[in-house]
A and B are shown apart, each in its own frame.
Chain A
Amino acid sequence: MAQIYVKQAIAGVVVVALLFTAISCHMSATNEEFFGRTVPPERNTLRYVNGAEPESLDPAISSGQHEARIYMSLYEGLVEYDPKSLDAIPAIAERWDVNNDSSEFVFHLRRNARWSNGEPINAHDFVYSIRRSLTPEVESRSAGLAYPIRYAEAFNAGGVFVRDPASNQFLLEKDFAGDEPAAAALSQKSLGTNEREYEPTAAEPTPDRDTPFHQFMHSPDRLVLPGAEKARNKLLESNPRLQAAVAGKELVKARAEDVGVEPVDDYTVRISLSESVPYFTELVAHQIFRLVPRKVIEQYGAKWTDPSHIISSGAFKLKSWKPYSEVVVERNPMYWDAGSVRLDEIYFYTSTDHPATMNLYKVGAADAVLNHSVPNAWLDVVRPKKDYMDAAEATITYILINITQPPMNDLRVRRAFNISIDKINYSKARRITKPLFAFTPEAIFVGYPQPKGEGFDPEAARKLLGEAGYPVTQKSDGTYQCEKFPADEVKFAFPTHSSNRALAEFMQAQWKQNLGITVMLSNMESKTYLAARSKLDYKGFAFGSWGADYMDPTTFLNLFKTRGGDNGSGWWDQKYVDLLEEANHTIEPQKRYALLAKAEKYLLDAQPVIPIETPAVNWVKKPYVKGLYPNPACLFAWKFVYIERDASKWDYGTPSLTD
């Protein structure tokens, strides 16, 4: 009996030892230039692990980055994101004119653009697509991005105009504006009274061809009231002058036809904005402005994206969609630029499990993976490899503060909590991030004079708390305590995710160490957390993160432009909003940036947030995948991507974004 045990034990030990030897031999054997196998696929296909299951293939609906990537293969817009800089490059619009203050844009469409069924694409298709994205019933999550277009918000939010039945005139916004109405954009001044709006170009000597709609766009802004009776009555009650003016007038619902998008002719689209938006051409590359097929949508309703119904406008068309598995797109021979498309098919794999994703990549079953797929624990192995993508990302991580409740309604307390965090060391621990002291990410917006936030200063933090009435004392063992601070009133709420927990625990330790205050952590399931945050139903601190929707500082700064929405802090200040408005009516770009930076400084001084870090992109692609660049938003124009079989032309390292 004893003998049997000994034999079994020996056999067991040998098997385990062999297994580990095999694995460790393998580990050392793969200590090569790249992570895993680098055999290009036989056909010109790209297998891209794209993250979560797309909610819908309708570009008007979803706002996720993973969905945007699929949309970019299927749907073409007026312009496309440059694969490196994300600037606007021509797509169906071959060129465009911008008026002097960036408040009106005229897009000239190419005449050879076709749908995947061969029918020609014209200006009316764009007008339909943009109006559709704004239709309330479509419930677009990104509709807010189109709000700079005149009356887009009024139409999307179901607002009403006020008409005087006697004179048939509409009430105007400027008659009811506050003390200092912001300067109106050029596109709001009546035509002919102002200086020539456009610089004439050789191709288009007279771009501002006049139409009745154009006259309407160039008339002063109409007054817009909320469509819902409750909200409207509340507003009217708070403003007796307005109430008196509206009494007895007719309420007219804002229609799709009122939105500032006009087909000037079959191949010209004119978009009128209510403010200056210098980045509007880049914004127009967003999915909600991309082409969707009217005929199919009207015929099949919500089922229009089924592979058997869908008609697409992009470089690729839908081949199949297996939910929770893959979306496959194939080359669209009708695409206007089909000649330069080099991939035959793209497989968008669904996988949210990082190790599973990396395993697929390692064995060569995937050619590239989505951003942030490399788990922290794998970085030591993967980062030194030449297929690791390392570049700046237009995303920020921050802590929101509920400033409506004591003790966090005291600016000194908020400042103390901010400057008692050693963000530099935190970023070192996180390894792929940079510490963030301002609210906009660093080194993303070229030429933007980003303001400096406060640095790490625990001594000053303790002093600030003392001034606020919560003295911090040092105990005999050198640690701090802050007995008077109501620690029960402050918690740190964050959505369940291992990296969020690491962040929260680090902050907890910093505050304990430097202020002697223990902040309890409150871990919430994602939707629970979002609901709590939007209702300010949290005490003290809540986790926040935001990725750029377009390449301008306002994509971050606008978070605090409204009280509700994604604000989440309870902080709202008319002066801040005015600064942003002023910037948006400033034509000279550098002056505009300076005003935005002033607004950002104002925000930092009020401290409704504690900026924490800017992540870097963190993904891998096989060296034979060319034309795929680690741009700051991880959005890829797929028509530029190709498989390179000649190993001497492969990417050995992160491809440059500036060449």
Chain B
Amino acid sequence: MLRFIIRRLIITIPTILVVITITWGLIRLAPGNFYTGDKALPEAIEQNIREKYGLDRPWHEQYLRTMGQILRLDFGTSLRYEGKSVNEIIARSLPVSATVGILAYLLALIVGITVGSIAALKQNSKWDYASMTLAMLGISIPNFVLGPILVLFFSLTLYWLPPSRWDGFPSKSVILPVITLSAIYMAYIARLTRAGMLEVLRSDYIRTARSKGLSETQVVIRHALRGGLLPVVSYTGPALAFLLTGTVVVESLFVLPGLGKYFIQASLNRDEPLILGIVAFISMTLLTMNLLVDIAYGYLDPRIRQ
């Protein structure tokens, strides 16, 4: 197992470097610079800036310098936001994204598993049809449509919840973004649970459990759910990684100061250190999550370890 983990880690590091290299190249290819603005700078000042940030050096020198800094996990200072270090920006914005992401995933798990199980246990009933219709809606309504509908109803009509902005956790401002973000995951998990449960409920060991005379609750919770949830577990890794980092749409809908917001702005601003920092961070998170899932799989299925 240790060898397996080490082997995976060895692949992970070059993957991150390749991702950063490609990102670095793309930033260089994009026209314009971080100092390009509505008001053009005098030539002499532009020259000063280029010297200060080493932009007048040959590209390979710039590349090696940047990579050297990143390898030392020093992402530097934002070019756009005076005096703010990239690490500081990530440390400040990640908690917002993570709170929304984790809450959304918890909500998705609770609702999804409950709804999915009910649908499976009462297959072909009106409960089943109703919940699967909702799940279908959840998957097919994009969050940039769902969000405004929720805002229209709960904020602008009923005045119950704030329509946007972040007041920290816990506060009312968390509710709408979390629901909006979790809808699609909720729906997926409900469908995965239903499918998994249906398969398990038909299997022999459930029949055995029932014939042993166990109560229906015990059958469902102790036996059926365990087997039925395996697909949900394997879905958790990638889903969580995306939830932690990829809440971009919800962040701009609800004006949340999260990581996704910074990422978009950094790209528009050509803020190279910040882009590279966030890309490195997101790819590390994604790869770690994948690694964790693979390790979990390795435990579950010895064939994968080989």
To the question of whether A and B form a pair in one complex, the answer is yes
Q: What is the interface of chain A, defined by CB distance below 8 A to chain B?
A: 4-5, 7-8, 19, 22-23, 26, 37, 53, 55-56, 58, 61, 63, 136-137, 139, 141-144, 153, 156-159, 226-228, 231, 301-303, 305-306, 322-325, 349-351, 353, 355-356, 359-360, 362-363, 365, 525-528, 530-532, 534, 564-566
Per the bound structure, the CA–CA distance linking A359 and B147 in Å amounts to: 13
In contact, B129 and A8 (Cβ under 8 angstroms): yes
In contact, A55 and B163 (Cβ under 8 angstroms): no
CB distance from B128 to the nearest CB of A (A): 10
Given A61-B82, A142-B39, A534-B40: A356 and B253 within 8 A (CB)? yes
Q: Does B30 contact A (CB under 8 A)?
A: yes
Given A58-B82, A157-B42, A356-B163: A137 and B255 within 8 A (CB)? no
CB distance from B165 to the nearest CB of A (A): 7
In contact, A362 and B156 (Cβ under 8 angstroms): yes
In contact, A527 and B270 (Cβ under 8 angstroms): yes
Per the bound structure, the CA–CA distance linking A26 and B77 in Å amounts to: 49
Given A37-B159, A303-B83: A325 and B39 within 8 A (CB)? no
Given A23-B153, A23-B157, A141-B41: A365 and B163 within 8 A (CB)? yes
Pick the contact of A530: B30, B32, B52 (CB < 8 A). B32
CB distance from B265 to the nearest CB of A (A): 7
Whose C-beta in chain B lies nearest to the C-beta of A306?
A: B83
Q: Which residues of B contact A305 (CB under 8 A)?
A: 82-83
Q: Mark B32-53, 1 if CB is under 8 A from A, else 0.
A: 1101111111111101110010
In contact, A365 and B162 (Cβ under 8 angstroms): yes
CB distance from A369 to the nearest CB of B (A): 12
Q: Which residues of A contact B129 (CB under 8 A)?
A: 4-5, 8
CB distance from B108 to the nearest CB of A (A): 22
Give the 10 A-B CB pairs with smallest separation, nearest first. Answer: A527-B32, A302-B83, A324-B257, A359-B163, A531-B32, A157-B44, A56-B82, A565-B40, A325-B257, A531-B31
Q: Which residues of B contact A8 (CB under 8 A)?
A: 126, 129-130, 133
Given A139-B41, A356-B164, A564-B40: A528 and B30 within 8 A (CB)? yes
Per the bound structure, the CA–CA distance linking A139 and B159 in Å amounts to: 46
In contact, A55 and B47 (Cβ under 8 angstroms): no
Q: What is the interface of chain B, defined by CB distance below 8 A to chain A?
A: 30-33, 35-45, 47-49, 52, 77, 80-84, 89, 92-93, 126, 129-130, 133, 148, 151-153, 155-157, 159, 162-166, 252-258, 261-262, 265, 268-270
Could you write out 10 A-B pairs with CB less than 8 Å apart? A136-B44, A139-B48, A156-B44, A157-B43, A157-B44, A228-B44, A323-B257, A355-B148, A365-B163, A525-B268
Given A324-B261, A325-B257: A139 and B164 within 8 A (CB)? no
In contact, A139 and B35 (Cβ under 8 angstroms): yes
In contact, B45 and A139 (Cβ under 8 angstroms): yes
Most chain B beta-carbon neighbours within 10 Å: one of A5, A159, A325, A526: A325
In contact, B254 and A356 (Cβ under 8 angstroms): yes
In contact, B31 and A359 (Cβ under 8 angstroms): no
Q: Which residues of B contact A566 (CB under 8 A)?
A: 38-40
Whose C-beta in chain A lies nearest to the C-beta of B44?
A: A157
CB distance from A273 to the nearest CB of B (A): 18
Pick the contact of B37: A141, A227, A349 (CB < 8 A). A141
Given A139-B41, A157-B42, A564-B43: A526 and B82 within 8 A (CB)? no
- Identify 8 new A-B residue pairs, CB closer than 8 A, beyond the known A56-B83, A157-B42: A8-B133, A55-B82, A56-B82, A153-B42, A324-B93, A359-B151, A359-B155, A527-B31
CB distance from B45 to the nearest CB of A (A): 6
In contact, A351 and B82 (Cβ under 8 angstroms): no
Per the bound structure, the CA–CA distance linking A23 and B77 in Å amounts to: 48
Whose C-beta in chain A lies nearest to the C-beta of B252?
A: A353
CB distance from A387 to the nearest CB of B (A): 16
Per the bound structure, the CA–CA distance linking A135 and B234 in Å amounts to: 58
Whose C-beta in chain B lies nearest to the C-beta of A147?
A: B42
In contact, A353 and B253 (Cβ under 8 angstroms): yes
Per the bound structure, the CA–CA distance linking A231 and B41 in Å amounts to: 16
Q: Which residues of A contact B42 (CB under 8 A)?
A: 143-144, 153, 156-157, 565
Q: Which residues of A contact B44 (CB under 8 A)?
A: 136, 156-159, 226-228
In contact, B82 and A531 (Cβ under 8 angstroms): no
Given A22-B157, A564-B43: A527 and B81 within 8 A (CB)? no
In contact, A325 and B32 (Cβ under 8 angstroms): no
Given A144-B39, A527-B31: A359 and B45 within 8 A (CB)? no
In contact, B48 and A136 (Cβ under 8 angstroms): yes
Q: Which residues of B contact A58 (CB under 8 A)?
A: 82
Whose C-beta in chain A lies nearest to the C-beta of B35?
A: A139
In contact, B163 and A158 (Cβ under 8 angstroms): no
Q: Which residues of B contact A360 (CB under 8 A)?
A: 162-165
CB distance from B234 to the nearest CB of A (A): 32
In contact, B45 and A156 (Cβ under 8 angstroms): yes
Per the bound structure, the CA–CA distance linking A530 and B166 in Å amounts to: 33
Q: Which residues of A contact B166 (CB under 8 A)?
A: 325
Per the bound structure, the CA–CA distance linking A143 and B42 in Å amounts to: 9
CB distance from A560 to the nearest CB of B (A): 13
CB distance from B269 to the nearest CB of A (A): 8
Whose C-beta in chain B lies nearest to the C-beta of A53?
A: B265
Pick the contact of B36: A139, A362, A531 (CB < 8 A). A531
In contact, B31 and A532 (Cβ under 8 angstroms): yes
CB distance from A524 to the nearest CB of B (A): 8
CB distance from A289 to the nearest CB of B (A): 16
CB distance from A292 to the nearest CB of B (A): 13
Q: Which residues of A contact B40 (CB under 8 A)?
A: 534, 564-566
Q: Which residues of B contact A231 (CB under 8 A)?
A: 43
In contact, A301 and B31 (Cβ under 8 angstroms): no
Q: Which residues of B contact A306 (CB under 8 A)?
A: 83
In contact, A23 and B257 (Cβ under 8 angstroms): no
Q: Which residues of A contact B32 (CB under 8 A)?
A: 527-528, 530-531
Q: Which residues of B contact A355 (CB under 8 A)?
A: 148
In contact, B151 and A527 (Cβ under 8 angstroms): no
In contact, A351 and B156 (Cβ under 8 angstroms): no
Most chain A beta-carbon neighbours within 10 Å: one of B39, B41, B48, B92: B39
In contact, A530 and B83 (Cβ under 8 angstroms): no
Per the bound structure, the CA–CA distance linking A355 and B155 in Å amounts to: 13
CB distance from A123 to the nearest CB of B (A): 27
In contact, A323 and B89 (Cβ under 8 angstroms): yes
Pick the contact of A63: B38, B84, B268 (CB < 8 A). B38
Pick the contact of A302: B82, B93, B164, B269 (CB < 8 A). B82
Given A141-B37, A534-B40: A351 and B255 within 8 A (CB)? yes
Q: Which residues of B contact A525 (CB under 8 A)?
A: 30, 268
Q: Which residues of A contact B37 (CB under 8 A)?
A: 63, 141, 530
CB distance from B124 to the nearest CB of A (A): 8
CB distance from A172 to the nearest CB of B (A): 22
Whose C-beta in chain A lies nearest to the C-beta of B251?
A: A324
Given A142-B39, A525-B268: A349 and B165 within 8 A (CB)? yes
In contact, A56 and B81 (Cβ under 8 angstroms): yes
CB distance from A145 to the nearest CB of B (A): 9
Most chain A beta-carbon neighbours within 10 Å: one of B151, B155, B164: B164
Per the bound structure, the CA–CA distance linking A248 and B88 in Å amounts to: 52
Q: Which residues of A contact B261 (CB under 8 A)?
A: 324
Given A156-B42, A156-B45: A324 and B262 within 8 A (CB)? yes
Q: Which residues of B contact A301 (CB under 8 A)?
A: 83
Given A349-B165, A360-B163: A19 and B155 within 8 A (CB)? no
In contact, A139 and B49 (Cβ under 8 angstroms): yes
Per the bound structure, the CA–CA distance linking A517 and B93 in Å amounts to: 50
Given A139-B35, A565-B40: A363 and B162 within 8 A (CB)? yes
In contact, A63 and B163 (Cβ under 8 angstroms): no
Pick the contact of A323: B48, B92, B164 (CB < 8 A). B92
Per the bound structure, the CA–CA distance linking A157 and B40 in Å amounts to: 13
Q: Which residues of B contact A144 (CB under 8 A)?
A: 39, 42
Per the bound structure, the CA–CA distance linking A136 and B159 in Å amounts to: 51
Q: Which residues of B contact A565 (CB under 8 A)?
A: 40, 42
CB distance from A54 to the nearest CB of B (A): 9
Q: Which residues of A contact B148 (CB under 8 A)?
A: 355
Q: Which residues of A contact B45 (CB under 8 A)?
A: 136, 139, 143, 156-158
